[in-house]
Amino acid sequence: MPQNFKNYNQDLLKKVVLKKNITAIVQLSVALLFILNILFALRVHQRTIIFPKIEFSFFSVAIMLSFLLAFSRKKMLKKPFLERIKQYLARAFMIFSFNLLIFLGIPIDIIYFYPTESKIYTTEYKITAPGPSRGKHGHCKNGLKILDKDNNYFFFLCINLNDKIKYGTKAQVRVKETPIGSYLIDYKLFVTSK
């Protein structure tokens, strides 16, 4: 009677390859979600007001977490002093950059997705030239500053002016208020034709 031997090395190799594939898929999914979150935050940041104290606290947490993670590695203690300092600073910079991207996007996500009712009210606005920054493409030609009545901060948006319209100073806005900031959902300017 022939004996059948099971090759455990091949089964182990298949499991290792499967585990690597699953790990790669999970890492790519997390990276994709991270990039989509950054793009989302860049898209809605002009319509969002984050209170300065909240922004400062998120920035402080990013700094503290960066240094905590950078200096927590025990293996580097056996290396020479200057090499250790160099590696610690490099790690701190990389971790800080990553944390900064995460912690600067979180307040915008919280404000946008926080489940509250929106308020509709009439407020003041100003038209400015130049408008808000558009990143490396310079500034908008004109800007629209809409006052948020509850916290006295301005939403600063790009606007294309129409020569046939006379702009006033009042606007009807729909704003979502949260404990850490505000999100401008919609606005209508009170204007008259020339």
pLDDT for the residue numbered 10? 65
User: With 0-12 CB in 10 A as exposed, 13-18 as middle and 19+ as buried, what is 58?
Assistant: buried
Please give the structure tokens belonging to residue 161.
């002016």
What SS3 state is found at 81? helix
pLDDT for the residue numbered 122? 93
Q: How far apart are CA 85 and CA 156, in angstroms?
A: 43
pLDDT for the residue numbered 9? 63
CB 146 within 8 A of CB 122: no
Q: How far apart are CA 141 and CA 183, in angstroms?
A: 23
- Other CB atoms closer than 10 Å to residue 173's CB: what's the count? 23
pLDDT for the residue numbered 156? 87
pLDDT for the residue numbered 45? 84
pLDDT for the residue numbered 7? 60
User: Which residue ranges in the chain fall short of pLDDT 50?
Assistant: none
pLDDT for the residue numbered 123? 92
pLDDT for the residue numbered 29? 92
pLDDT for the residue numbered 63? 80
What pTM did the predictor assign?
A: 0.71
